[in-house]
Structure 1
């Protein structure tokens, strides 16, 4: 099982309706991507981020489906232009010590094949976490 999470802060002055559209797009991912077993989207408390989302996925095949699903791509295209600071993380009970590298490779594969998404990510004010090294190397 993989718990894929994102934490983010919106750029100052962003229209609240745009923020809500991006949050609804995140919720739509959870409702429509078949590999997502459960999800939560909401306020992030106890840190430096405003919002967060976590998606529960069975395995790496499901993770790839999640990354390239049209609902996820729509969220990237709607939401990333609004984001100032972004952090991604993955928590898994998979005993394979290479799981983290395999997740990073999936992100890199996506960025390599989708230039518009790679450009959106590269324009974030700050991006750290499980996929960030893949972005900076590509």
Structure 2
């Protein structure tokens, strides 16, 4: 299993409607991208970020399918317009197989 996790902070001035639409758009990936086994999007707790998302994928092929899927690629520019800061972690249960980007 691969766990792709992002944490993000919204830009000042993002409206409640923009926030709700962006989070809903991210949440719909589970329905649009077959490689996703599970997806959670919501408030982030215990850190310097507002929200987070965890995507569970079966294997590296699923990760590649997810990252290159048209639904994911279409959402990146829209969501990026709302984000001020981003942290990312991708890893698996295998020892030594993770990376951090902050």
Fold conserved between structures, TM > 0.5 = yes
Give SS of 1:89's match: strand
Q: Could you say what the CA RMSD is over the residues aligned between the two structures, in angstroms?
A: 1.7
CA contact (8 A) 1:36 1:56 kept: yes
CA distance in 2, matches of 1:70, 1:17: 24
- Alignment: residue pair count: 102
Aligned residue in 2 for 1:8: 8
Aligned residue in 1 for 2:48: 48
Aligned residue in 2 for 1:80: 80
TM-score by length of 2: 0.90
Aligned residue in 2 for 1:71: 71
Aligned residue in 2 for 1:116: none
Q: Which has the higher contact order (CA 8 A, sep 6+)?
A: 2
CA contact (8 A) 1:19 1:79 kept: no
Write the mapping of 1:28-39 to structure 2, written as runs, cut at 5 A. Answer: 28-39=28-39
Regions of 4+ moved over 3 Å: none
Gapped runs of 5+ residues in structure 1? 105-127, 133-138
CA distance in 2, matches of 1:12, 1:75: 20
More strand by share: 2
TM-score by length of 1: 0.68
CA distance in 1, matches of 2:63, 2:48: 26
